[in-house]
Amino acid sequence: MSEGYKLGDLVWAKMKGFPPWPGRVEAPNPDSKKPANAKKNPVQWIFFYGTSNYAWIEESHIKPYHEYKDTLVKSSKTGQFKEAVEAIEEYIANGEVRVPTNDVSDTNSVFDRLKEEETSEKKSPKITKPRKEPTPKTKRVDNSAERRPAKKQRRESSTSNSASNRVGSVSPTLNHSPSPPRKSGSTLLNRPANIARPVTPPLDVETLSQTLKEKNIMPSNLKFGFLGLGIMGSGIVKNLINSGHSVIVWNRTQEKCADFIKAGAEHGLTPSDVVLAADITFSCVADPQAAKDMVFGNCGVLIEMTPNKGYVEMTGIDAETSQDIAEAINSKGGRYLEAQVQGSKTHAQEGTLVILAAGDKSLFDECHSCFEAMGKNTFYLGEVGNASKMNLVLQLMAGVTLAGLAESMALADRAGLQQKDVLEVLELTSLACPAILDKGKAIIEGGFPTQLPLQHMQKDLRLSLGMSDQLEQPLPLAAAANEVYKHAKRLGYGKHDASAVYIRARF
């Protein structure tokens, strides 16, 4: 034990992502592996009151309970935090630990509820006392009362006019009729009604792609779990199954598992069930918060993570989130690898993704046959975080480029040029590349069938900007592009293809 703390000491312990929490220094379990940096940064095995949780916490994140009680007892207003404070005070008074009401096998459910309560507190409206204002002059009140209905009436009139214009001028696929440059006094263009996203055809899970046939893969004898059967995960799992790998799957929407089970996969009822059954588990979900929920949430990965099991994070996340997950997996004796992917839905289904990996090298080697089935190239980039950073750099390039393409096509249409002519000329220049040409065609056709969801592109730009804040690196173009994607997302195009950013650029 460190000289700073001894067994039984009552403390405030700070776990990443949560407020300082009342706890007690305990003797670690025999199978609890210390973090790799424990020699450099001393750690203590902490029991958290009001929960059934234990964790290794760095001593720099621990403070004596009584000394800091007056300050830290106000650090959270959630019900779970108040229960924890009551539990430690009851222990001080009676020497007893109150068992939490949640199932003790669910090691993080209390912290999940804490997140939910904090989120609901942020969302719930604050009740404030009405502010007394000086009574305005009678004349001013009468004028404002007359103005408001008139302003509302003008808005309704404009809406009805735009609706009637849309019926005659805009088709469901955004036929771009050339329009001459408008004079400064003319009205603004009318934004079309939300374009319905084309129906995604069902994935043919059992048919091998030509690319996969040519690879002639020798599958690993290990059993692999996969969490998340979304737009990217479904294509990846299809290739794992068809290349002969043993796979057990889980998805939040259980119905999506049916076709994969029919093709030979097993089905796990929860993420923890998948981890229990598999040697190595992959995760490919929506965003950093969803990735954390897989690990720390109810029936999450950590519950069944045991020494030497592997966990591979394929979700597009930031380096800090990846390091937090790695620390949690390593604390249970598991091995962690981040494997970020470059590509779209088509690349995932054909097995031509580019894979950027970082973390445990032995785990990387054991995943070789899986990566061969998923992609055409795989890179190992060293320590955890490097792959996430590389992926965000590349996504920043893609996001800014696509926003520029959308604005260029909007300008061409506004100037009376045929967009197909623009694309035809572009194809003959040094700027031509598959990504730009494909997105250009999607803009002209106007249906925006999803290859990479717009909301995922906006998420990656946001994470890139977060990384730039930490490094104090200005990103003015990325910041401007992010605002354009945010607006397109707010207009209802988050689940459309990222090329739907054109709607915001044009209208």
Q: In the prediction, which pLDDT does 154 show?
A: 42
Segment 377-420, tens digit of pLDDT: 999 999 999 999 999 999 999 999 999 999 999 999 999 999 99
Looking at residue 251, its amino acid is: N
Whether pTM > 0.75 for this model: the answer is no
- Give residue 111's pLDDT band: very low, low, confident or very high (50, 70, 90): low
CA distances to 91, 287, 304, 314 from 1, in Å = 23, 38, 27, 37
- Contact between 27 and 45 under an 8 Å Cβ cutoff? The reply is yes
- Contact between 235 and 282 under an 8 Å Cβ cutoff? The reply is no
- Contact between 344 and 451 under an 8 Å Cβ cutoff? The reply is yes
Instruction: Report the percent of the chain where pLDDT is more than 90.
Output: 61
The Cβ-side half-sphere exposure at 92, using a 13 Å CA radius, reads 15
Helix axes 288-296, 109-123, angle to 10 degrees: 150
Q: Report strand pairing: 62-64 vs 266-267.
A: unpaired
- Contact between 23 and 49 under an 8 Å Cβ cutoff? The reply is yes
Cα–Cα distance measured from residue 227 to residue 102, given in angstroms and rounded to the nearest whole number = 25
- Contact between 275 and 225 under an 8 Å Cβ cutoff? The reply is yes
Mean pLDDT of 229-249: 97
177 or 371, which is more confident = 371
Cα–Cα distance measured from residue 306 to residue 34, given in angstroms and rounded to the nearest whole number = 13
